Structure 1
Amino acid sequence: MSGKTAIIFGSTGLTGSYLLDFLVLDDRYEKIIRFIRKPSKISHPKIKDIISNLDDLSAYKNEIHGDEVYICLGTTIKVAGSQSAFRKVDYEFPVQVAEIAAENGIPVIAVISSIGADAASSNFYLKTKGEMETAINSKNIKYTYFFRPSMLLGDRKEQRSGEYLMKNLMQVLSFLFIGPLKKYKAIHVKKVAASMISTVNSKVPSRVISSENMHG
């Protein structure tokens, strides 16, 4: 029996880079299709690169065929430059990917969202994440998983304002995050990536997974 094919969007990001590494090392996977904006120095016999800025995903519909889709796309308004640019990355691209995945009969999709995601939120970031989840759920992909991590631990290429101090503070105060507060405890991206793969392969019913339930 041949191995599985996984498709990744956002493999150069904080969580996506770990996810890619884990998939390459996992014998259950024979092929990994990754969509990236520019050529990468990282190569492996399992990896097939599709160079695209994602602005016209419909042109790559025939490339989006496999067993599972992983979406690790995400930015901030500050990095994106505007609310509309942020929404393009965190809402439009993931929803377009899900739509094509559904049309192509891909049965599993795993998406990085955010703790507090809520389509009814007054916070633009959380509202966008919530609307993204709602839109993807409407595609009725058999196994749909949303991962809502708290503060992510790991080294970013770009420094986000205040994030470094917040990470250190949350690590120092981690002992306080117990019981109902456990989902707010900071989590390393390696654990999030491992949880995505283990959840997808467990074939549990569609669900939202928060930090305290992420296990490698």
Structure 2
Amino acid sequence: MSENGRVALLAGASGLVGRSLLKLLLASPDYGRVVTVTRKKLDTEHPKLTQIVTDFDAVESAVAASGAHVDDAFCALGTTIKAAGSQPQFRKVDFDYVVGFARAAKAAGAQRFLLVSAIGAGASSSIFYSRVKGEAEDAVGAIGFSGLHIFRPGLLFGERAERRPREAMIMALTPFLNPLMIGGAVQYRGIPGETVAKAMVAAALRGNAGRHVLTYREMMALAR
């Protein structure tokens, strides 16, 4: 930790959860510096913000070249198979880029890694999307962070850069559907991206060691 507070490294700052993470980290008195890794320069400007603009195929060398020394790494990278265009392209983003970023964060000194995954993630899943998410979780876990916090939301809702008509319809129904999801179904409840971001920052500041998987109930509790 620097004398001016913690240093956060953030990937996925232009996405739904990432945008909220960036705002929270910049506003937090606990963080003296926030380093983002993006493919395009962000419009945001702030005295605490340092931007690394790079192709994620070269993320490890780009972070190393920046000389950043970080405490906490936040990964909100992710796409959909439809947006990626194919299963291989989806895997490139949700596995290769995520793991590459984790390696870069570890090399930069990060002790804690906070990852946005998805409910149902599992390396043995028969569903391609869930299997890739699970494989990414396991690969990041093997890197050796002191604390690994995996956030598995159900439907994420909030303002997105791209239109997703099906999700918009489900989001409109979420206030009615969520109360119907009880027992084991609670973990599938829709949750705002901002709530996930708040939970991630809270988990980082608590600094608990070990591997932690957080679903709806845990995220809601942390975000309060």
**Does 2:215 align with 1:210?**
yes
Partner of 2:39: 37
What is the CA-CA distance between 1:165 and the residue it aligns to?
Answer: 1.6
User: How far is the alpha carbon of 1:179 from its aligned partner?
Assistant: 2.6
Tell me which residue corresponds to 2:144.
Answer: 140
**8 A Cα contact 2:9 2:105, kept in partner:** no
TM-score (norm 2): 0.92
Distance 1:162 1:19 in 2: 25
The answer for the alignment partner of 2:21 in structure 1 is 19
The answer to whether the Cα contact below 8 Å between 2:8 and 2:31 also exists between their aligned partners in 1 is yes
Counterpart in the other structure of 1:8 = 10
What SS is found at the alignment partner of 1:117? coil
Identity score, percent: 34
Distance in 1 separating the partners of 2:147 and 2:38: 25
Cα deviation code 1:9-30 (max 9, x no counterpart): 0001000000000011100111
**Which of 42, 45, 48 matches 1:46?**
48
Q: Which moved more, 1:128-137 or 1:168-177?
A: 168-177
Instruction: Kindly tell me the number of residue pairs found equivalent between the two proteins.
Output: 216
TM-score relative to the length of structure 1 = 0.95
Match of residue 124 from structure 2: 120
Which residue does the alignment assign to 1:196? 200
Which 4+ residue blocks in structure 1 deviate beyond 6 angstroms? none
Match of 1:111 among 88, 110, 115: 115
Q: Which stretch of the first structure deviates more once superposed, 91-100 or 162-171? A: 162-171
1:176 to 173, 180, 190: 180
SS of aligned partner of 1:49: strand
Letter in 1 for 2:180: L
The amino acid across from 1:76 in the alignment is: T
Q: What displacement does 1:55 show?
A: 1.5
CA root-mean-square deviation: 1.3
1:55 correspondence with 2:48: no
Q: Quote the Cα distance in structure 1 between the aligned partners of 2:41 and 2:138.
A: 33
Aligned-pair CA distance for 1:161: 4.8
Instruction: Note the residue ranges of structure 2 that are not aligned, 5 or more in a row.
Output: none
| Comparing 12-21 and 201-210, the one that deviates more | 201-210
Answering whether residue 81 of structure 2 is matched by residue 77 of structure 1, we say: yes
Q: Which residue does 1:186 correspond to in 2?
A: 190
Matched, 1:91 2:103: no
Relative to structure 2, which stretch is displaced further, 107-116 or 39-48?
39-48
